[in-house]
Structure 1
Amino acid sequence: MSTTFQLDTATSRANPTPQPMKRLTVPAIKRRKFEGKTEQPLVMLTAYTARQAQLLDTHCDLLLVGDSLGQVIYGLPSSLQVTLDMMCAHGAAVVRGSYHSVVVVDMPFGAYEASPQQAFAAASRIMSETGCAAVKLEGGVAMAETIAFLVARGIPVMAHVGLTPQAVNVLGGYNARGRSQQEHEKIIADGQAVEAAGAFAVVIEGVIEPIAIALTQSLEIPTIGIGASAQCDGQVLVTEDMLGMFDRVPRFVKRYEEIAQVIGKAAEAYAEEVRARTFPGIEQTYQPK
């Protein structure tokens, strides 16, 4: 069993149901790319709760507890307000709710940039409190020393280059990166730097497609695209975006369902029945024997 403790699945809807499968590992993810090619692309989605993890787990290779939970769960204006406490709490929930996927937890803004030592303190807390398999941090060349420091101390790291949301104030927005030659060269250099530092995979976000393809072809580690290219070694999306939970989503998101509409219609029907006193009915109430 791959969860951290046994749960009584008969008594609570929130408890994960054990599945007869073995959890993937970081080395297994890294081996999916062999001699520069990935025959079966890696599937990655975000998850923030145990139940969400249950629903996504068997379909994914990796589950990302993203700092996007700041906007998605807490209604914050950006990911910059996300705390280490938040990431640990949600990361632990996702690990408890999954049995198959490699769970990766984002390191929040301010938890790793100051020094490799600060990053290790934060990453080791995340690993120990959540039971996750790896952490993810943003940055390329600037974070290479930190990545190497963490990996040397037993913490697998997924890197993140291109559009890095935690640096939104420096970048001036969430626009695609790589339109200038200088940006193009920086993205390639960042990807090569994180590979050399020991990252097992790298997210490429919001870059011009030819750059994503070139970087994917130049690296031995898997690349995970988001707003990048289908030629990346895998893909990731914010689950709520692809489910249509929000009115506005980035142009690179494909909406596979319109769950917000489903929820709205269900809430409307419930409200009508409550006001008409037709709910609860005989099936939902306890009658004398």
Structure 2
Amino acid sequence: MNRPILPPLVVNGETVPQSAIAAEAQNHAAPRGKPGLAWRKAANALAIRTLLLQAARARGIAETPRELAPGRFETAEEARIRGLLEAAVAVDPPGEEQVRAEWARDPSRFRAPPLWEVSHILVACDPADGEAMQAARARAGELARRALADPAGFARLARETSDCGSRGAGGALGQIRPGDTVPEFEAALRQLQPGEITAEPVPTRHGWHVIRLDALAEGAILPFEAVRGKIAEAMEKAAWARAARAFLGELVAAADISGADLGAGIATETEDEPAGP
């Protein structure tokens, strides 16, 4: 990408190479024709990373990469930053009263998984074949229009046109729980009310789907004892994220930085998350 004409990035006297900013800018979106925005985002991100690495070196934090997955390890910089945050940021776990108060604020947030009863029409194709995918999309769009025009005829339409083995049952897939289908299919289900049909076909690795939600059984509200551990974990994670941002804010306030704008707010890679089951 073309490098915009911007001042060099200097953090406490340490100059960050423009080549590093250019590489980081590839990870930040910006409107077409405005590479300077991606460049500024990259400069801010590298300013924060440089600050954290400087603080880690000052504290003598060792580079001890952890295995993230079989055969995949942290980089030395990632390990050093993690070690710094582990040493500098600590929070107490929430007490029993705090956790119970979070649950009591709205117990309906904590439910057992829902149960969907679903029918669909599949137009099968290979997603890697662009031409076939486009043709299948057109066919599925026409089937969606026919299904919406005659909802009572959905089962007949599925028997006549679907490429799924469920066509013999009028497209009925039976009862489905979260995790039983591919993510795109499940995401579409979560947007439907009972009796509704997807207005647009839904793409998955199997092809295009026209989906009807036949019935929905909301999961029962879970008792406090069933979700206490997960609520406590989520509250502690959110508290840690706030503390990490505060720590980083202190580093920024004490630093001499040019070529970056960190005044709009500090965010770490770990964001607050609402407590949930």
Q: Same fold (TM over 0.5)?
A: no
TM-score by length of 2: 0.19
TM-score by length of 1: 0.18
Which structure dedicates a bigger proportion of its chain to helix? Answer: 2
